[in-house]
């Protein structure tokens, strides 16, 4: 009787195992194309991504070589180098295209073509696709070149948007505005711009020193050109001497 029970249990296990195998086979036959397709897709996506990284690395190396060759060629054949930089700016990836645009603008400035350089930097400053620090740098360079060219109004117009709290370029922008006002004869405006640099605790020391010299120079000119009553009260020329006004020292007995 015990043997019959064991044989029955073994038979039931064999039937159960066979049933499970049949179920698994049905599941596999049903979902095998999907599973195989998913595996193939993973392999293809991985291979494609790795291939794209390889291509991107190769293109970056090629663009870097072209960029370096063009910058070195500026010393020997400026026109050919500028043409190569312009091509990189139009066709290269974002990083090298930006470097090429900046270098091309600087090359025009080095060659004395301030108009072309200012135009190039203005284009960079107006490019909404660039990061703000790059646009601000381009605006500063454009303002400086305008100032060198004698376009004081253009220099002020380009620098004024940078004069705001927290802007890292505000100190240099104020110096440009002050210099532009000074060159145009607006001594009061220039003095105000240079004093703003001195009043800013975050201004660099060298810039504060230059602004201090300019304020002293402006105060001297204001004192020489205007009546005493119109001299700014906070300037050295507008301050009363140590002994009270209108008093004289008595001669020694």
How do residues 185-205 score in pLDDT, each as one tens digit? 999 999 999 999 998 888 899
Chain segment 44-62, per-residue pLDDT in tens: 787 777 777 776 677 667 7
What mean pLDDT, rounded, does the chain reach? 79
Backbone dihedral region for residue 235 (phi beyond 0: left; psi -120 to 50: alpha; all else: beta): beta
Cα of 63 vs its chain's centroid, Å? 21
In a domain, 80, yes or no: yes
pLDDT at 232: 54
Q: Indicate the SS3 state at residue 1.
A: coil
Average pLDDT over residues 23-28: 71
Q: Quick check: 112 and 98 in contact, CB under 8 A?
A: no
Classify residue 73: in a domain, yes or no.
Answer: yes
pLDDT value at residue 251? 36
> What is residue 112's predicted lDDT score, i.e. its pLDDT?
87
Percent of the chain clearing pLDDT 70 (strictly above): 78
What pLDDT shows up at residue 246? 40
- Is residue 180 assigned to a domain? no
CA dihedral angle for residue 155, residue 159, residue 160, residue 163, rounded to 10 degrees: -150
Whether residue 143 is contained in a domain is answered as: no
Residue 172 pLDDT grade (very low, low, confident, very high; cuts 50, 70, 90): very high
* Domain hosting residue 67, numbered range: 26-111
Q: Return the axis-axis angle of helices 94-110 and 114-125, rounded to nearest 10°.
A: 150
More confident residue, 128 or 68: 128
Residue 53 CA to residue 226 CA, distance in Å, equals: 70
Q: Give the number of domains in the chain.
A: 1
- Look at residues 154, 230, 155, 149 and name the one whose alpha carbon lies nearest to residue 188: 230
Please name which of 192, 140, 198 lies closest in space to residue 169, comparing C-alpha atoms. Answer: 140
Cα–Cα distance for residue pair 209/213, rounded to 1 Å: 6
Does the structure show a pLDDT above 50 at 253?
no
In-domain check, residue 92:
yes
Mean pLDDT of 150-173: 91
Q: What is the mean pLDDT of residues 91-114?
A: 86
- Give yes or no for residue 171 having a pLDDT over 80: yes
72 vs 18, higher pLDDT: 72
Q: How many residues does the chain have?
A: 253
Determine, yes or no, domain membership for 239.
no
Q: What integer is the mean pLDDT of 133-156?
A: 93
Residue 245 in any domain: the answer is no
Closest to 194 in 3D by CA, of 214, 168, 169:
214
């Amino acid at each position: 009787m015990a043997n019959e029970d064991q044989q029955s249990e073994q038979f039931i296990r064999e039937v159960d195992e066979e049933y499970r195998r049949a179920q698994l086979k049905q599941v596999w036959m049903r979902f095998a194309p999907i599973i195989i397709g998913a595996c193939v897709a993973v392999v293809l996506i991985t291979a494609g991504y790795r291939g794209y990284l390889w291509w991107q690395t190769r293109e970056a190396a090629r663009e870097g070589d072209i960029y370096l060759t063009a910058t070195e060629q500026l010393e020997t054949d400026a026109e050919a180098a500028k043409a190569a930089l312009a091509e990189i700016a139009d066709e290269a990836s974002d990083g090298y295209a930006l470097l090429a645009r900046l270098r091309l603008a600087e090359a025009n400035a080095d060659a004395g073509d301030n108009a072309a350089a200012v135009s190039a930097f203005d284009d960079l400053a107006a490019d909404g696709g660039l990061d703000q620090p790059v646009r601000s740098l381009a605006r500063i360079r454009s303002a400086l070149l305008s100032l060198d060219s004698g376009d004081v109004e253009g220099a002020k117009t380009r620098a004024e948007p940078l004069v705001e709290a927290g802007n890292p370029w505000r100190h240099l922008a104020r110096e440009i505005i002050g210099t532009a006002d000074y060159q145009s004869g607006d001594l009061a405006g220039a003095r105000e711009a240079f004093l703003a640099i001195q009043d800013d605790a975050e201004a660099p020391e060298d810039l504060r020193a230059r602004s201090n010299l300019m304020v002293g120079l402006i105060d001297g000119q204001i004192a020489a050109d205007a009546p005493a009553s119109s001299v700014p009260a906070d300037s050295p020329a507008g301050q009363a001497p140590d002994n009270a006004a209108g008093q004289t020292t008595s001669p020694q007995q």
